[in-house]
Amino acid sequence: MANVILKKKIDASTSALGDVKSYARKVWLAGLGAYAKVGQEGSDYFQELVKAGQTVEKKGKKVVAEKLEAANAEIDDAKNEVTTFKGKVEVQLDKVEKAFDTRVASALNRIGIPSKHDVETLSAKLDELTALLERVARKS
């Protein structure tokens, strides 16, 4: 009976060893099949990936170009607004400057200080008188 039990154990371990070998062979064959399939279809799959990448790149470039154009348009609008505002400010500053000049000239005139125009008029009259005196002095 000991021989029967031992024979059953040997048969069971041989059977398990056969199953492991069979499974290992299947794993090996599956690996070879995957390698062969990648070799055949890998190039085609790579080309599909390249095409998909090109499509995404085109779309991305288009979106970036649109965003850049929109940003440039906003910048141009802001520049125009600043230019318009600058023009308005310059006009207002000119008005303030003229009003200030008028007030200062009026105040100086009130206290007896002649204006630039008054000085220029007097200077022109002096030039005329000097010329007249020189002519009179030459005649005599």
For 33-58, what is the HEC assignment?
HHHHHHHHHHHHHHHHHHHHHHHHHH
Rounded alpha-carbon distances, angstroms, from residue 88 to 80, 98, 99: 12, 16, 17
d(CA 137, CA 53): 102
pLDDT in tens, 42-88: 777 778 878 888 999 999 999 999 999 999 999 999 999 999 999 89
- Indicate whether 6 pLDDT > 50: no
| Domain map (residue ranges) of the chain | 2-139
What is the average pLDDT score of the chain?
A: 83
